[in-house]
């Protein structure tokens, strides 16, 4: 998603302004987006929520599928409109992000300098006339800080499920435009293992407030059919024009 992420500082960005997101053309080629556990309930009504394995970091992370093929986002129209009622937080926070510093537990606000939302003439200033962070930056810091806390909870959630061997590879065969397509490369919670948990382990998950997210994830898998329908709708006009 980010092409040129750099820390925000007044020496480099004193005259820069940030425009309000009015379209999502920048996300038109994102077929997945990271989400946090706190987003599962709303996201599951629209997108399949699955997990990807990061072998280098030896961890799992949840994402929503927004397309069946790399480079396609079935929820962004040709005019850049997001055609769903919920936009993942990672996309709403664009072009900002938090990055770790050399000090443990410390983060700095970064911005994607390649974004079209950055301007010298339009938008809200990042710094005031005195060179101090503007209210816009303070709001971004607050928002990113809240997301950081949610991300920490999400990492613990995924670590717990990985440690208890509750993830299993998704291998689903679907029919799309008269062709069979395999949905692979991601993981889901294994329902059989979940149902066979001891009462003690199940109660532990309830105490950790993991259960609502688990059920939202499992229900969301039915949204893969929605992706198939959206894909077919896009293919049909193209076929009629050919």
In angstroms, rounded to a whole number, what is the distance separating the alpha carbons of residues 113 and 96? 10
Largest CA distance in the chain: 63
| The pLDDT of residue 242 is above 50 | no
Q: What residues contact residue 26 under an 8 Å CB cut-off, 6+ apart? A: 94, 115, 116, 117
Domain residue spans in the chain? 5-236
Mean pLDDT of the region 225-235: 87
Is residue 241 packed enough to be buried (19+ CB in 10 Å), middle (13-18) or exposed (0-12)? exposed
Least confident span in 70-84, 117-131, 223-237:
223-237
- The pLDDT-based confidence of 53 (bands split at 50, 70, 90) is very high
In angstroms, rounded to a whole number, what is the distance separating the alpha carbons of residues 178 and 184? 19
| The pLDDT of residue 32 is above 90 | yes
> Interior CA angle at 177 toward 171 and 183, to 5°?
15
Mean pLDDT of the region 191-220: 97
Q: What's the confidence (pLDDT) of residue 192?
A: 96
Of 74 and 103, more confident: 74
Instruction: Tell me the pLDDT of the chain averaged across its residues.
Output: 90
> Rounded to 10 degrees, what is the CA torsion of 154, 155, 156, 162?
110
| The pLDDT of residue 70 is above 50 | yes
DSSP calls for 67-88 = -SSTT--TTB-TTS-B-SS---
Q: What's the confidence (pLDDT) of residue 233?
A: 86
- The pLDDT-based confidence of 184 (bands split at 50, 70, 90) is confident
Mean pLDDT of the region 79-87: 95
In angstroms, rounded to a whole number, what is the distance separating the alpha carbons of residues 124 and 135? 9
| The pLDDT of residue 4 is above 50 | yes
| The pLDDT of residue 73 is above 80 | yes
Q: What's the confidence (pLDDT) of residue 69?
A: 87
Least confident span in 11-25, 178-192, 210-224:
178-192
Instruction: Classify residue 38 by its DSSP letter.
Output: G
Structure tokens at 18: 């940030």
Of 118 and 173, more confident: 118
> Interior CA angle at 22 toward 17 and 26, to 5°?
85
**Phi, psi angle pair for 179, to nearest 5°:** -130, 145
Q: What's the confidence (pLDDT) of residue 39?
A: 97
């Amino acid at each position: 998603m980010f092409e040129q992420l750099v820390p925000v500082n007044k020496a480099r960005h004193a005259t820069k302004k940030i425009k309000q997101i009015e379209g999502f053309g920048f996300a038109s080629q994102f077929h997945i987006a990271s989400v946090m556990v706190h987003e599962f309930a709303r996201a599951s009504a629209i997108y399949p929520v699955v997990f990807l394995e990061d072998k280098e970091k030896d961890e799992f992370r949840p994402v929503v599928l927004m397309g069946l093929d790399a480079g396609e986002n079935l929820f962004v129209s040709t005019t850049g409109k997001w055609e769903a009622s919920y936009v993942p937080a990672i996309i709403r926070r664009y072009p900002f992000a938090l990055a770790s510093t050399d000090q443990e537990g410390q983060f700095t606000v970064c911005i994607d300098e390649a974004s079209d939302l950055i301007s010298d003439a339009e938008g809200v200033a990042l710094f005031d006339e005195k060179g101090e962070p503007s209210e816009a930056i303070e709001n971004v810091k607050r928002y990113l800080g809240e997301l950081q806390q949610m991300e920490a909870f999400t990492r613990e959630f995924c670590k717990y499920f990985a440690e208890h061997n509750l993830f299993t590879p998704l291998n689903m065969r679907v029919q799309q435009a008269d062709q069979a397509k395999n949905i692979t490369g991601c993981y889901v919670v294994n329902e059989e293992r979940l149902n066979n948990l001891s009462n003690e382990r199940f109660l532990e998950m309830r105490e950790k407030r993991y259960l609502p997210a688990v059920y939202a994830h499992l229900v969301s898998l039915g949204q893969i059919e929605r992706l198939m329908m959206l894909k077919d709708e896009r293919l049909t006009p193209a076929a009629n024009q050919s």
